[in-house]
């Protein structure tokens, strides 16, 4: 039978005590982390889908004006306005105005769109998305990308 050295029992009880303190503090920390995570909302803060674009007079007649932050073309034809997506319906490339013909084209795969967003050439399976456009109380046009409309439904001022 061997005798333990003096202080050995004290060392074991100190390890046991410190291990218990560590486990307790770790548990409290994990509970606090879980409570903090519960309070923080699961929200992705993206771009606002409803936004003001300016006065009707800011948009030249018979032209498409590109708004890069919103990836939208504002097409004005006299007193009618359309808000068209600048994202190709084929693979999501950015469409551009066509310098040779009225309308838009996709430089990636060659899709072509009429000025009203209707597809007529290339691999794009459907027209460009058209968004609701309206007049705000301040006299500014407002685009709502949450509401898709038919390209035939233009906003008239």
| Residues 29-79: tens digit of each pLDDT | 999 988 888 887 777 777 778 889 888 888 888 888 898 888 999 998 888
103 has pLDDT over 90: no
Q: What share of the chain has pLDDT > 90, as a percent?
A: 14
**Cα separation, 83 vs 121, whole angstroms:** 21
Tens of pLDDT, residues 104-140: 888 888 889 988 888 888 898 988 999 998 888 888 9
Per-residue pLDDT, 31: 93
> Does position 3 have pLDDT exceeding 60, yes or no?
no
């Amino acid at each position: 039978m061997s005798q333990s050295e003096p202080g050995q029992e004290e060392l074991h009880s100190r390890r046991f005590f410190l291990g218990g303190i560590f486990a307790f503090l770790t548990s409290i920390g994990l509970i606090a982390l879980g409570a903090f995570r519960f309070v923080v909302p699961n929200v992705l803060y993206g771009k606002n889908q409803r936004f003001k674009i300016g006065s009707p007079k800011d948009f030249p007649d018979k032209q498409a004006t590109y708004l890069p932050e919103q990836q939208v073309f504002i097409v004005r034809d006299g007193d009618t306005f359309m808000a068209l997506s600048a994202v190709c319906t084929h693979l999501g490339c950015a469409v551009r105005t066509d310098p040779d013909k009225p309308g838009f084209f996709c430089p990636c795969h060659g899709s072509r769109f009429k000025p009203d967003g209707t597809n007529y050439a290339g691999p794009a399976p459907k027209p460009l998305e058209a968004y609701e456009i309206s007049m705000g109380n301040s006299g500014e046009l407002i685009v709502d990308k949450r509401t898709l409309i038919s390209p035939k439904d233009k906003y008239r001022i």
